[in-house]
Amino acid sequence: MHNTILITGGAGFIGSHVVRLFVKNYPHYQIINLDALTYAGNLENLKDVKDQPNYKFVKGDITDEPFIDELFATYKFDGVIHLAAESHVDRSIMDPLAFIKTNVMGTAVLLNASRKYWKDNYEGKLFYHVSTDEVYGSLGEEGFFTEQTAFDPRSPYSASKASSDHFVLAYYHTYHLPAIISNCSNNYGSNHFPEKLIPLAIHNIKNNKPVPVYGKGENVRDWLFVEDHARAIDTIFHKGRVGETYNIGGFNEWKNIDLINLLCMIMDKKLQRAPGTSAKLITFVKDRAGHDLRYAIDATKLNKELGWEPSLQFEEGLEKTVEWYLANEEWLEHVTSGAYQDYYSDQYQKR
Ligand code: NAD
Ligand code: DAU
């Protein structure tokens, strides 16, 4: 079952952890990593698996229909794990159409190719769509997102992801395409692009630059270690029920300002700075437009049905993450040179 697998977006943050896990755990599978290598895609993330015999990288765009059709014809995939996306909320506020193109059109192109090449003979086939908790909208002080929570996306990013989820379910209901969706909370860990809160803060603290906190830092996110997300994807891909949605999260809510203060303490310790040094860099800046107040995932279904649970406590995971960034200065230098500087000044200069 699922012997030749297409993983899209495998050069990105979460995708690279999923590719590594599958290449290492399933030597009898053939893993094809398809990635357009946008600013967020980086083959350095996969240098430890690049020469494995069961791994192949293909550069290409999921919105390019003839190319995707040809790829399906060439490799005859049994399974698809779809992670390729534009993933940053702030960029979606700057340029919503890029998100509609990749996240909506790109997903539809992949669904269509799967249907066409599987020719309605779905035995042993699976389309696994990796999505986000942001499709559910924003919570107040209490409650959780469950798999039954109605979609209420509020940013161009989350609207594009919600739309892609709807297309996956439409293909399942209309054409019986065997599909599964998971909706995960905020990930953190190694290889995270430093446009997102945690790696951006680590990078700035290291360089004694201001750490921008939107609004009053009161917004709450539910953080999960990226390797735990990759394990959840493995579990769901192999054991999940077709047509189902699974929420993934670590029951680990943090107010942004509390998280940043914890991170500052860890950075002081690791950089051997006097306690309180890094926290002086915290700078409250203009809030994100339409900033969702709180996300919190109820991952009971995944735990009860498939036995998955997170492996790491947050403090431990955050410390491991900081250690990785401090030990991988070259990675950070490469991804923050060039176009990153332009993005950073567009996003933060006038805040
Ligand atoms: P990322 O931005 O780090 O990586 C995205 C990857 O997709 C990059 O390698 C990029 O080159 C590739 N890509 C972008 N457009 C492409 C295109 N048109 N064709 C082919 N490849 C393309 O994203 P991430 O944080 O690793 O997120 C991966 C997936 O997981 C996304 O679908 C995202 O919505 C979802 N997700 C992310 C989080 C999170 O906290 N980061 C949480 C839940 C769900
Ligand atoms: O919930 C899952 C989602 O988590 C994923 O689907 C997205 O792909 C991923 O980017 C992430 O979205 P967020 O918007 O929650 O992540 P981000 O790291 O951008 O922001 C986390 C919180 O920190 C959010 O409340 C905004 C705030 N923030 C962010 C940045 C970049 C700041 O205060 N300052 C910043 O500079």
pLDDT in tens, 296-329: 999 999 999 999 999 999 999 999 999 999 999 9
Residue 173 is predicted with a pLDDT of 97
pLDDT, average across residues 206-213: 98
Has residue 193 got a pLDDT over 70? yes
Closest CA to 161 of 245, 240, 238: 245
Residue 301 is predicted with a pLDDT of 98
Query: 3-state DSSP call for residue 190?
Result: coil
Taking a C-beta distance cutoff of 8 angstroms, is the pair 250, 188 a contact? no
Q: Please give the number of the atom of ligand 2 that sits closest to the Cα of 215.
A: 33
DSSP for 216-257 reads TS--EEEEEEHHHHHHHHHHHHHHPPTT-EEEE--S-EEEHH
Taking a C-beta distance cutoff of 8 angstroms, is the pair 6, 81 a contact? yes
**Which of the four pLDDT bands, split at 50, 70 and 90, describes residue 29?**
very high
Task: Tell me the helices (H) and strands (E) count for the chain, helix number first.
Answer: 13, 12
The pTM of this model reads 0.98
Query: 3-state DSSP call for residue 322?
Result: helix
Has residue 71 got a pLDDT over 60? yes
Q: Mean pLDDT in the chain?
A: 97
Cα of 291 from ligand 2 centre, angstroms: 9
pLDDT one-digit tens code per residue, 248-267? 999 999 999 999 999 999 99
Cα of 131 from ligand 1 centre, angstroms: 10
pLDDT one-digit tens code per residue, 77-127? 999 999 999 999 999 999 999 999 999 999 999 999 999 999 879 999 999
User: What does the DSSP 8-state code read for residue 319?
Assistant: H
Residue 338 is predicted with a pLDDT of 85
Residue 230 is predicted with a pLDDT of 98
pLDDT one-digit tens code per residue, 148-181? 999 999 999 999 999 999 999 999 999 999 999 9
Has residue 1 got a pLDDT over 80? no
Please tell me the residue having the least CA distance from ligand 1 atom 10: 41
Closest CA to 193 of 42, 17, 77: 42
Taking a C-beta distance cutoff of 8 angstroms, is the pair 130, 28 a contact? no
If you search the block for the tokens 């590719």, which residue do you land on?
19
Has residue 2 got a pLDDT over 90? no
Q: Which domains does the chain have, with CATH numbers?
A: 3-188+222-248 (3.40.50.720), 197-220+254-290+313-344 (3.90.25.10)
Residue 318 is predicted with a pLDDT of 98
Taking a C-beta distance cutoff of 8 angstroms, is the pair 179, 126 a contact? yes
| Alpha carbons 204 and 347: distance in angstroms, whole number | 15
Residue 349 is predicted with a pLDDT of 85
Tell me the β-bridge partners of 209. none
| Alpha carbons 39 and 145: distance in angstroms, whole number | 31
| Alpha carbons 65 and 197: distance in angstroms, whole number | 34
Q: Ligand 2: residues within 6 Å at CB?
A: 87-89, 132-134, 185-186, 196-197, 200, 212-214, 219, 221, 256, 288, 295
Active site residues: 133-134, 157
Q: Please give the number of the atom of ligand 1 that sits closest to the Cα of 15.
A: 26
| Alpha carbons 31 and 55: distance in angstroms, whole number | 5
Establish whether residue 37 lines the binding site of ligand 1, counting it when its CB lies within 6 angstroms of any ligand atom.
yes
